[in-house]
Amino acid sequence: MTSIQLYESATGIVQADGSVTMVLNGPRLNRVWQGTVTVLGSPSGSQFTVNLGAQNFGVLYAPGPAGPFQMMAGQNLELTATLATTLAGEQITMILSGVNDSVESPTPYTGPSIPASLTVTSSASGGP
């Protein structure tokens, strides 16, 4: 089995009424995507409805992560939410991080997910 590291993303623009939808089209034939989803650009705690194919998987509270999810060819991962109308025009991004496998894995992916935020610190060091 050949697994490839997977990072796929989809974006949505918040509409005037606060609604936003992001759709990630699934893998090509003979591939399976497994991973977790993180949402970037949305206020912390925002509630997103998660649908995979025709199945409702419940909610993701931003930034997440949520999952693991397993996507087959022909399935789409869709996140929808109604956010504050003051966010109209803002771009929201979802990222699926995981593995791209050549066959369906009997054990869902439970690896690392993308961090919601990073803090960069610096320290001065004396040099020659």
- Tell me the average confidence (pLDDT) per consecutive run of 10 residues in the chain, 128 residues long: 82 96 90 90 93 90 89 91 94 92 62 52 48
Q: How many domains does the chain have?
A: 1
Looking at residue 104, what is its pLDDT? 58
Whole-model pTM: value is: 0.77
Q: Does residue 119 belong to any structural domain of this protein? A: no
54: containing domain: 4-100
Looking at residue 72, what is its pLDDT? 87
Q: Tell me the sheet residues that pair with 76.
A: 25
CA dist., res. 77 & res. 94, Å (int): 10
Q: Does residue 33 belong to any structural domain of this protein? A: yes
16-39 burial, b at 16+ Cβ within 10 Å, e below that, comes to: eeeebbbebebbeeebbbbbbbbb
Looking at residue 17, what is its pLDDT? 97
Q: Does residue 69 belong to any structural domain of this protein? A: yes
CATH code assigned at 80: 2.60.120.510
Q: Does residue 114 belong to any structural domain of this protein? A: no
